[in-house]
Amino acid sequence: MVNSFVEHIVWDWNGTIFGDSRALIDATIQAFAMCGMPPITVADYQREHTQPIPVFYNRLAGRVLSDEEQAQLDECFQAAYQRYRDNIMLTHDSIDAMSLWRTANRSQSLLSMHPHDRLVPLIERTGISEFFTRVDGTIGVLTRKAPHLAEHLDRQGIRADRAVVIGDSVDDARAAQACGAHCLLYHPGEDALHAREHFQELGVPIVETLIDAVGQLLDPSVGTLNRRLARADEPTVVGVVPAFEESV
């Protein structure tokens, strides 16, 4: 018997379905070096990671950067990231996780802060479009995911309290909280975009694999999970583990 409380998964793209978290970290480190900024490490990235990105860059630099410096960093980051993109794979268990959810006759969609015109070709290239009822990237400037999520659910006629966001960033959890949806946060360990402490402070369930996330949603032995499934303001942790979502 499958628990039916949560009917729909909203998947994040960068760092969740698309396994590019290490590429994002390395591209940022390279961008700071190319722009003559103080050197940064992986640990610096994870400790300071936040949205929106200009605030993140200020934190990494230890000061408020000028508009010109922000623009230069963005240009250098984009150039560095492009060198990685063609070699980035889907997260190792993402197809198994999406297939398991589909087998249970549940729906799923994808929501990203990645520009829509770049996102759709990437998804089509990976051959996973068939899994999703809807795919939305950003159009224009959008610094937070909450309004993006609200519109994404509304366009599909999905009740927020019947949906769960599976992503790898604090912004995913805050977006779910703002919209009244549930959230599971994916933290794969040393390549995560956030320090694990960032997630623990939110009190949101943490998982180390995507298949575990779906398994917890479907397992009737944890039937209370789908009713307590972590809004960001509920201090409930159901998965222990030792990963982003970023506009690139």
**CATH code of residue 108:** 3.40.50.1000
Query: What is the CA angle 58-244-205, rounded to 5?
Result: 115
Question: 192, 163, 189: which is closest to 175 by C-alpha?
Answer: 163
pLDDT at 2: 40
Which of 70, 85, 100 is the C-terminal boundary of a domain? 85
* Residue 207 belongs to some domain of the structure: yes
Last residue of a domain, one of 35, 56, 85: 85
Per-residue confidence (pLDDT) for residue 133, from 0 to 100: 97
Both 96 and 211 in one domain: the answer is yes
Residue 45 forms part of a structural domain: yes
Q: Establish if 247 belongs to a structural domain.
A: no
Q: Please report whether residue 236 resides in a domain.
A: no
Are the CB atoms for 80 and 35 separated by under 8 Å? no
> Are 155 and 79 part of one and the same domain?
no
Q: Are residues 152 and 221 in the same domain?
A: yes
Which one-letter amino acid corresponds to residue 200? Q
Nearby residues of 14 by Cβ (< 8 Å), 6 or more positions away = 20, 21, 24, 112, 113, 114, 244, 245, 246, 248
pLDDT of residue 117: 92
Q: How far apart are CA 217 and CA 226, in angstroms?
A: 7
Say if 12 falls within a structural domain.
yes
Residues 200 and 94 in one domain: yes
Task: Note whether residue 209 is domain-resident.
Answer: yes
**Within this chain, do residues 105 and 12 fall inside the same structural domain, yes or no?**
yes
Residue 240 forms part of a structural domain: no
Where do we find the tokens 């000061």? 63
Q: Which domain holds residue 63?
A: 21-85
Considering the domain architecture, whether residues 73 and 111 belong to the same structural domain is answered as: no
Tell me the average confidence (pLDDT) per consecutive run of 10 residues in the chain, 248 residues long: 73 96 96 96 95 94 97 96 91 97 96 92 94 94 88 97 95 94 93 86 89 88 46 30 31
Residue 45: what pLDDT?
Answer: 95
What are residue 18's DSSP bridge partners? 14, 90
Q: What is the pLDDT of residue 144?
A: 87
Q: In the chain, where does DSSP find H-type helix?
A: 21-34, 42-48, 53-61, 67-85, 94-103, 116-126, 146-156, 170-179, 196-200, 210-218, 225-228
